[in-house]
Chain A
Amino acid sequence: MTQDLSQSKYKLRSIHKQTQNDNLVSTCKISPDGKMLATASSDKTIKLWSITDNSNGLKLIRTLIGHSKGISDISFSPNSKYLASASDDLTIRIWDVEFGEQIQILKGHTYHINTLCFNFKGSILLSGSSDENIRIWDLKNGKCLKILSAHSDPISSLDFSFDGTIIVSGSYDGLIRLFDLETGQCLKTLIYDKSGSSFPISFVKFSPNSKYILSSSLDGFLRLWDYMNNKVVKTFKNNDSKSISEKYNLNSNFITFNNELLICSGDEVGEILFWDLQSKDIVFKLIASHDNSPIMQVESFNDGELLISCSLKGEICIWDYIK
Chain B
Amino acid sequence: MNLSLLDPFAVAKEYPEVLTQTLSYGHSTCIKSTRSGDYLASGLIDGTIIIIDNDTNSTISILHDHTRSITSLCWSYCGRYLLSGSRDWKVNLWDLQKGHVIRSVTFEGPVWNCTLVPGSESPFQFVAALLEDDPVFVDMSCANSIKITKLETDPFVDDGDRKHWTLTCAYEKTGRFIFNGTSKGWLNIIDGKSFETVKSIKICNSNIKGIEFSSIGENVAINSSDRIIRQYKLTIAERENGTYKLNLELENRYQDAVNRLQWNSVKFNHNSEYLCASTLGATHDVYIWETGMGSLIKILEGSNEELIEVDWNFRRCCITATGMDSGMLYNWSIVIPQKWSALAPDFEEIEENIDYEEKEDEFDFVDYDDDLNKIIEEEERDIVDVITKEKTDARGFPFVESFVINVSLQPELE
Indicate, yes or no, whether A interacts with B: yes
Binding site for B on A (CB under 8 A): 78-79, 82, 94, 96, 103-104, 119-124, 138-141, 145, 150, 161-166, 178, 180-183, 185-191, 194-195, 207-212, 224, 226, 228, 230-235, 254, 256, 261, 277-278, 280
A209 to B409, CA, bound (A): 30
* 18 more A-B residue pairs beyond the given contacts A163-B393, A195-B369, A256-B386, with a C-beta to C-beta distance below 8 A: A82-B409, A96-B410, A103-B410, A122-B407, A123-B53, A123-B55, A139-B407, A140-B56, A145-B56, A161-B1, A163-B399, A182-B2, A183-B338, A185-B339, A187-B6, A191-B345, A235-B376, A280-B380
**Using a Cβ–Cβ cut-off of 8 Å, how many residues does chain B contribute to the interface with A?**
44
Question: What residues of B have a CB within 8 angstroms of the CB of A162 in the complex?
Answer: 1, 389
CB of B104 within 8 Å of the partner chain: no
Interface of B is mostly: loop
A202 to B399, CA, bound (A): 31
Q: Which residue of B lies closest to A82 (CB)?
A: B409
A186 to B59, CA, bound (A): 27
Contact partner of A183 (CB less than 8 A), chosen from B60, B336, B389, is: B336
Contact A277 B58 (CB under 8 A): no
Q: Which residue of A lies closest to B56 (CB)?
A: A138
Question: What residues of B have a CB within 8 angstroms of the CB of A261 in the complex?
Answer: 386-387
How many A-B contacts if CB must be within 8 Å? 140
Determine which residue in A123, A124, A150, A231 has the highest number of CB atoms from chain B within 10 A of its CB, and name it: A123
Contact A140 B58 (CB under 8 A): yes
Contact A121 B55 (CB under 8 A): yes
Contact A233 B384 (CB under 8 A): yes
CB of B364 within 8 Å of the partner chain: no
Smallest Cβ distance from A75 to chain B, in angstroms? 14
Per-residue CB proximity of B358-389 to A under 8 Å, as 1/0? Answer: 00000000001100100010011011111111
Question: What residues of B have a CB within 8 angstroms of the CB of A94 in the complex?
Answer: 409
Contact B390 A140 (CB under 8 A): no
Contact A165 B404 (CB under 8 A): no
A138 to B345, CA, bound (A): 31
Contact B1 A163 (CB under 8 A): yes
A79 to B376, CA, bound (A): 42
Question: What residues of A have a CB within 8 angstroms of the CB of B407 in the complex?
Answer: 79, 121-123, 139-140
Contact A150 B1 (CB under 8 A): no
Question: What residues of A have a CB within 8 angstroms of the CB of B404 in the complex?
Answer: 78, 120-122
> Given that A195-B368, A210-B1 are known contacts, is A79 also in contact with B406, CB under 8 Å in the complex?
yes
Smallest Cβ distance from A323 to chain B, in angstroms? 20
Contact A123 B389 (CB under 8 A): no
Question: What residues of A have a CB within 8 angstroms of the CB of B3 in the complex?
Answer: 165
Contact partner of A185 (CB less than 8 A), chosen from B56, B338, B345, B376, is: B338
CB of B343 within 8 Å of the partner chain: yes
Smallest Cβ distance from B97 to chain A, in angstroms? 11
19 contacting pairs across A/B (C-beta < 8 A): A120-B404, A140-B407, A141-B58, A162-B389, A164-B55, A165-B2, A178-B342, A190-B345, A191-B344, A191-B345, A195-B369, A208-B389, A209-B387, A209-B389, A233-B380, A233-B384, A235-B380, A256-B386, A278-B383
A208 to B316, CA, bound (A): 24
CB of B5 within 8 Å of the partner chain: yes
9 interchain residue pairs of minimum CB distance: A207-B386, A187-B5, A165-B2, A138-B56, A209-B389, A180-B2, A185-B338, A123-B407, A166-B2
A261 to B386, CA, bound (A): 9
Q: Which residue of B lies closest to A280 (CB)?
A: B380
Contact partner of A210 (CB less than 8 A), chosen from B6, B343, B368, B389, is: B389
Contact A277 B390 (CB under 8 A): no
A231 to B5, CA, bound (A): 15
Question: What residues of B have a CB within 8 angstroms of the CB of A256 in the complex?
Answer: 386-387
Question: What residues of B have a CB within 8 angstroms of the CB of A165 in the complex?
Answer: 1-3
A189 to B339, CA, bound (A): 11
Contact A209 B385 (CB under 8 A): yes
A211 to B55, CA, bound (A): 22
CB of B241 within 8 Å of the partner chain: no
Question: What residues of B have a CB within 8 angstroms of the CB of A194 in the complex?
Answer: 368, 372
Per-residue CB proximity of B315-347 to A under 8 Å, as 1/0? Answer: 010000000000000000000101100111100
Per-residue CB proximity of B403-414 to A under 8 Å, as 1/0? Answer: 011110110000
Smallest Cβ distance from A179 to chain B, in angstroms? 9
Q: Which residue of A lies closest to B54 (CB)?
A: A182
CB of B4 within 8 Å of the partner chain: yes
Contact B409 A180 (CB under 8 A): no
Contact A277 B386 (CB under 8 A): yes
A182 to B38, CA, bound (A): 12
